[in-house]
Structure 1
């Protein structure tokens, strides 16, 4: 069974929103709490399928985790660094590259063997980038002939610290190395040519219970919706504004967006703020290279904003978009073509011609949650109804997306296709 979104053109985007907890931080909170000593309570946890799969994996490794889904609260009874137990079956990470890569680092340092698998999309994603540095540390890791999952990890290795300079900007790879280094002999140094999100580093310094900020990657869809829909005025509360994640705000402000951060504070070591967005006409830009890694997950909806801007928007140097849950450059260009939007596709980016009007049509999301949600936002300002197919994977990150959308002014109906 698949889910199809039917979006009718809507009205202004307005109201006050609470967005689910940050998925990226939630993964790290579950994993690090599992190998900590004692009990950790995690509040405002993301309840998407990706995080639930991480919880299931840690339970399979012997960790006691209780979850109150209504309260978005998890209670993790940590087993310490050396308390994990071997799983009787392969560990299924579902759709989550974050889970698979971080767990690869953690499990490479255990005394037992493990196998990591995922859904069809995850089993196609590149894993050599995480296996290589771990192998340099002494890990025994086997990939498929295409350097993808399944990942087979032979335990009881003796890891050593190394000096490693990353070749691909990836917080997931960095985090995997950091988790493995907790068990390694000697000093570990990781150097990044392009700095990436530092949630793992911040959480390693944290002590006690954890409160998760709202997810800026989920908030991004409503930030853009308010930016491009006339008469909109929206506030989103307690959003994580880690400077390595706020590229979308920086890009939209360069395009002329009216975005204000208010009530800034900290949840633990993570900065948060309420975000107020008002409609403002946008103009096209060339996206700065130093903002790409800070907005890599938000480009599908940034592209939606670019269509409405006066003048063209150019993105280059973003080849990483080709190896996400889908080929996001190709998926967005195909969707744009369906909705009568002109673009020029490059191997590492796209040129979006500005000041265009979305038409109605049926768009394939290719099972990618961020593609599906991005085109749902486009449907709000289209000249006709927009249908987005294969939307089931929205549940991986933002199962409340449709109800949240309709609460602030969008008009989305979900239908199940058998």
Structure 2
């Protein structure tokens, strides 16, 4: 079942060249953080280009529940009148974060050092995901959390009455965990220190500095040491959200595997902690170029141009690159299916605890469409068949996961037989205009009448 209603089955058919411009939505990570940091500021933050997918809308509603005034002005323009650091009110009702692991984990961090309680829930997928990776470090501040077995939602978080600053080493690469601890540190006196051995997306650090927090980042032998001085008064900002590289991955990867394609994707954020997929595709031989490179709001941005690439080759993706492309491995595995040779992806155990077990979901779906996949606890290998040789014809389970659904719809654009997806409804959580955008480029994706 879809996370927000009845299942929406779809079939993707082989199509002619994909051409034109793909105006993908705003960056999901930055959209979440814009709303949360706006709510923690004093005054009005204005946001343009906000991603209006269900995940971000759920975060907006949560900020309202904590006392911020959040207004949709239309066309992706939003405003947030914040309540200041430590100013969150106790919500009257349960906070429903839908499908969003990013939303719930960051919000837990933001309220963890205020003397209030909040109960969080989500859809079936989110309620099955582990929250202890966030709540365990939050208890170091004095926070308490009570959830279902295995540290799962629904969960009640009781904020620390007298929070203390912490020093925490993130045990596995996770921008969500790092960000939750930093957001909790905002309302703790003194300096909160987060150490990560492997760099993850750094939007939280960049945006905290932009909102006026005292924060430093130092590269050491132990890794990145991030030091935040607590109890600042955050200054409201004007934020122009760059377009989401994770969403751009789908039209880009589709263009690489569909003969004759030439697609331009303008204004994509190319933060080094997010651009690993595009580096990997180029190493595979993809005809992918950056045009009009520039900086917007402190973030590197460029227009991407992707053309059909019939001579892709399999490679070993460096494990240290995983954090910069963790959400893009599903669609990378689709591209790998059309490459020659094996593409190995290692150090990716985080994929096992995303919206679904993404390694398992992609392996099953690719096998159903004639592609050989080997897998282990933190790795998988796809044996590519080369351009034009992927059979297709299979039924793929999306597992309530937007990226799984979109990846298999991309697969069907270049297979010998159509590819079916049991439920594409979750796509609305991150990429609500996926269907019309891809249709505008020339894709043949059809809803199945039940």
* Superposition TM-score, scaled by structure 1 size: 0.97
Of 10, 21, 27, 1:5 maps to: 10
Which segment drifts farther, 161-170 or 297-306?
161-170
Q: Deviations over 1:164-199 (max 9, x none)?
A: 111011111111111111111221111111100011
Matched, 1:148 2:152: yes
Superposed CA RMSD in Å reads 1.3
Contact 2:142 2:160 in 1 (8 A): no
2:116 is aligned to: 112
Structure 1 unaligned residues grouped into runs of 5+: none
Structure 2 unaligned residues grouped into runs of 5+: 1-5, 212-236
Q: CA deviation at 1:227?
A: 1.3
Contact 1:90 1:116 in 2 (8 A): yes
Q: CA deviation at 1:68?
A: 3.1
2:168 is aligned to: 164
Matched, 1:412 2:445: yes
Within 2, Cα distance between the matches of 1:330 and 1:275?
30
1:22 is aligned to: 27
Which segment drifts farther, 172-181 or 266-275?
266-275
Matched, 1:203 2:207: yes
Within 1, Cα distance between the matches of 2:307 and 2:158?
53
Matched, 1:400 2:433: yes
Contact 1:139 1:158 in 2 (8 A): no
2:96 is aligned to: 92
Within 2, Cα distance between the matches of 1:188 and 1:37?
22
Matched, 1:337 2:367: yes
Q: Secondary structure at the match of 1:298?
A: helix
Q: CA deviation at 1:156?
A: 4.5
* Superposition TM-score, scaled by structure 2 size: 0.90
Q: Secondary structure at the match of 1:252?
A: helix
Matched, 1:213 2:246: no
1:322 is aligned to: 352
Q: How does 1:351-366 map to 2 (within 5 A)?
A: 351-355=381-385, 356-366=389-399
Within 1, Cα distance between the matches of 2:440 and 2:181?
41
Q: CA deviation at 1:361?
A: 2.3
2:230 is aligned to: none
Which segment drifts farther, 352-361 or 302-311?
352-361
Within 2, Cα distance between the matches of 1:11 and 1:68?
38
2:46 is aligned to: 41
Contact 2:113 2:141 in 1 (8 A): no
Q: CA deviation at 1:128?
A: 0.9
1:122 is aligned to: 126
Q: Secondary structure at the match of 1:382?
A: coil
Of 69, 73, 80, 1:64 maps to: 69
Contact 1:206 1:268 in 2 (8 A): no
